[in-house]
Structure 1
Amino acid sequence: MNDRGSRLSKDAVLDAAADLVRAQGPAALTMRRLAGELGCAVTAIYWHVGNREALLDELVARTVREMGRIRAEGATPAARAESVALELRRKLRARPHLIALVHERGLTERMMLPAQRALAHEAHAAGLRGAAAAEAVRAVQFHVVGFVLVERNRERAPAQHPGEPDLWDDATAEQDPGLAQAFADPPDVDRLFRATTRAVVASLWGAVPGEGGA
């Protein structure tokens, strides 16, 4: 084992494994490849984290913990609920392959619980209780997860022929040239997410102030 391998730690193994999964998916994570990334013997990895299944379990547990670090910000319950949605989307977008591992192991609900609790807290602060509070929490949660799934599907989709700009004909352009031009440009997904999130939250929590949660 070289000097780098002799300084190996469990956290270093998990960091390198997570980087591999993020970049290339779980199939890329082999013990031999991970050892090459770390510059150590395969046996050193076994010493720190066990076999590959144990390593995947550790990555899942770490991902659940990371997803649980949700902090609401803003001056009103609605603004804070919006900030939770923004943070949840950011976390889901940052680690799609790791999220898939969590889902495969049946821990999605546990992973989402901290965000649900943060949203429930803000629903209570807005005066919502019982079924109304649960509906508000789930509406935001489903909106975020659904939006992320659509984003991922669009990113992985093959090139479309004709594409969206080609499908807006001259008649539409004559009726609403601004609309036709907007569809000719790629969507600003960050702006779209903020707008739709604000609409969902405002309908259930009340209006969000101008800069709230953004």
Structure 2
Amino acid sequence: MPRPSLTRAEVLDTAARYVKEHGPAALTMRKLAAELGTAVTSIYWHVGNREALLDALVERTVHELATIRPRGGTPARRIVSVARALRRDLRAHPHLVAMVHERGLTERMFLPAQQALVHEVHAAGLRGARAAEAVRAIQYQVVGYVLVERNRERSPAQHPGEEDLWDEAAAEQDPGLARALARPVDSEKLFVVSVRALVESLVGR
């Protein structure tokens, strides 16, 4: 029998944390049992085998990404809020999102965000192919931005970096631009600027 205090939710929470820290390939039932301080048989009792555990993690990730709630006083602002929430969730669950993709459930994972976007582009007056184009453009903007962010974060230190490339000699025509490009990127601010520009071009303010 499983440890009385152990619950299925605790098993999934610990497994999700382990996957986030080490990646899905490193997760084994034995390692998970050690993390929980229990027997492997107890894990099986709560969630089944490793494949069943991974399926449960995927289902929970899909469910968690379904809780996006638009905010704002206009359709455009609510669309931006959906985009920001989707980016935040994708960045918070990189390994779990990868597992969803590997199991062929990516489209299902994005469906709640798409539904929220459809509601808002309809509120902005778009219909048919124009509405679908807007939804996909915003979704691709979010996913593409997250991929660029993760690539920059995982890439080795750059030599020379932007602060070296945009020196005084390169700054003669626009010193303010050179100073700004030499500073570290504010990813959140840049994302909001880019997604707002896209949304306003598609649905207005």
* Contact 2:166-2:178 at 8 Å conserved across structures: yes
Letter in 2 for 1:37: E
Deviation at 1:117, TM superposition (A): 0.6
Q: RMSD of the TM alignment (CA)? A: 1.3
The separation in 2 between residues aligned to 1:27 and 1:155, in whole angstroms, is: 21
> What are the within-5 Å matches in structure 2 for residues 3-82 of structure 1?
5-82=3-80
Render the CA deviation track for 1:99-139: whole Å, top value 9, x for unaligned.
Answer: 00000011000000010010000011111000100011011
Aligned twin of 1:153: 151
Give 1:210's aligned residue. Answer: none
Report the count of equivalent residues: 205
Distance 1:54 1:73 in 2: 36
Q: What TM-score, normalized to structure 2?
A: 0.96
Aligned-partner Cα distance in 2 for 1:183–1:206: 29
CA distance in 2, matches of 1:103, 1:200: 26
| Aligned match of 2:83 | 85
Counterpart position of 1:138: 136
Structure 1, residues 129-166: CA drift from partner, whole Å, max 9, x if none? 00100011011100000000000000000111111222
Alignment-derived partner of residue 197 in structure 1: 195
In the TM superposition, residue 27 of structure 1 has moved relative to its aligned partner by 2.1
Q: Secondary structure at the match of 1:162?
A: coil
Q: Does 1:179 align with 2:170?
A: no
CA contact (8 A) 2:166 2:179 kept: no
Q: Is the 8 A contact 2:62 2:108 kept in 1?
A: yes
- Verify: 1:115 aligned to 2:108, yes or no: no
How far the C-alpha of 1:169 sits from its partner, in A, is 4.2
Q: Gaps (5+ residues) in structure 2?
A: none
Q: Which amino acid aligns with 1:192?
A: L
Code of the residue aligned with 2:28 in structure 1: it is T
8 Å contact kept, 2:11–2:36 = yes
Q: After superposition, what is the alpha-carbon deviation per residue over 1:34-91, rounded to whole angstroms, capped at 9, x for unaligned?
A: 1111110011001111111110011001101111111011111111111100110110
Provide TM-score, normalisation by structure 1: 0.92
Post-superposition offset of 1:22: 1.1
| Aligned partner letter, 1:52 | R
Distance 1:169 1:86 in 2: 33
Deviations 1:168-207 (A, max 9, x none): 2433211111111112111000100010011011111112
Aligned partners of 1:118 and 1:72: how far apart in 2?
7
CA distance in structure 2 between the partners assigned to 1:205 and 1:81 by the alignment: 10
Q: What is residue 212 of structure 1 aligned with on the other side?
A: none
Q: Which amino acid aligns with 2:181?
A: F
